[in-house]
């Protein structure tokens, strides 16, 4: 083939109209992602973008909104036990899942019910 896939550029999750401040609270204040500026031409659509390392997550507005209960992004983390304590301290519920060999894995829901997987390999 003369083409190749290089990496995932970003993951987009949907959120209800008017939920940008809630997104900032969850993704920036709790998870520690950095908010990044959307291009001016896309700002009128609403939503908000975040980054961590070289990765991006875009929160897009969908009306009517339905959360993704099965499809989800999965983020590899370091020190997941500390993350679990951090989530507990912020009253963010998570579900532990020991079904993936050699992984310490949990699921959280964003404020609108979208599923997010968080895992640390080698445990």
Is residue 108 one of the residues assigned to a domain?
yes
Is residue 27 one of the residues assigned to a domain?
yes
For the stretch 28-80, pLDDT in tens is 999 999 999 999 999 999 999 999 999 999 999 999 999 999 999 999 999 99
Q: What CATH number corresponds to the domain at position 102?
A: 3.10.180.10
Is residue 54 one of the residues assigned to a domain?
yes
CA dihedral 91, 61, 120, 31 (to 10 degrees): -40
Domains: count for the chain: 1
Is residue 1 one of the residues assigned to a domain?
no
DSSP at 37: P
Give the pLDDT score at 1. Answer: 79
Is residue 6 one of the residues assigned to a domain?
no
Is residue 51 one of the residues assigned to a domain?
yes
Give the pLDDT score at 63. Answer: 94
Is residue 49 one of the residues assigned to a domain?
yes
Pairwise pLDDT comparison (23 vs 3), residue with the higher score: 23
DSSP at 79: -
% the chain with pLDDT above 70 = 99
Is residue 5 one of the residues assigned to a domain?
no
123 pLDDT exceeds 70?
no
Its domain, for residue 15, covers: 11-121
């Amino acid at each position: 083939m003369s083409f190749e896939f290089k990496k995932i550029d970003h993951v987009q999750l949907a959120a209800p109209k008017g939920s940008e401040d809630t997104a900032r609270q969850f993704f920036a204040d709790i998870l520690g992602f950095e908010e990044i500026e959307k291009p001016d031409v896309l700002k009128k659509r609403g939503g908000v973008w975040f980054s961590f390392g070289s990765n991006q997550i875009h929160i897009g507005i969908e009306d009517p909104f339905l959360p993704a209960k099965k499809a989800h992004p999965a983020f590899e983390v370091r020190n997941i036990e500390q993350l679990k304590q951090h989530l507990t301290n912020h009253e963010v519920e998570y579900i532990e899942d020991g079904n993936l060999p050699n992984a310490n894995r949990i699921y959280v829901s964003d404020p609108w019910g979208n599923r997010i997987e968080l895992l640390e390999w080698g445990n």
